[in-house]
Amino acid sequence: MYAGSFSGSIEFATLPISSVAGTIRAELVLSSSKDKLAIHNGTIRGVDQSEKPLTAQLTGTVDCDTGALEAGRFENGSYQVNEFTSAATFTGTADANYTVDPPSATGTWEATSKETVGLIGGKGSWSLTLQAAL
């Protein structure tokens, strides 16, 4: 299991309106061709500076030759903008480079809302590190 964190900002019309931070957890599973690591069970959980929750799924594959995250995505994102409206939904991209010593990935993310009103987007950084087996 890999675990790590993300941080960044939520933006309205490109102006930062809130900071966000939280945790990321994922499994990296070697493909049958042994040249890719697929992200399985990638979860993103966090809060903004007012403790409003956000969640998403992390997907993509790591090219074992280059260490680059390919097709990295935040999917099925949900952000509770306020207590008076339903959660805003979002998707986004994730870039990263994977290293084997220590087994970890570090990169950036960018997301956009599926709604035209409310949350417009966000961006920031993220990282994952292989956790010791218990």
The structural domains of the chain, with segments of one domain joined by +, span 2-129
Distance CA 72, CA 82 (A): 28
Give the SS3 label for residue 116.
coil
Under the banding of pLDDT at 50, 70 and 90, the label for residue 116 is: low
Fold adopted by 2-129 = Lipocalin (2.40.128)
- Is residue 133 predicted with pLDDT exceeding 70? no
Beta pairing partners, 113: 90
Both tokens of residue 29?
A: 């599973």
* Tens-digit pLDDT profile for residues 38-73: 999 999 999 999 999 999 999 999 999 999 999 999
The residue ranking higher by pLDDT, 16 or 112, is: 112
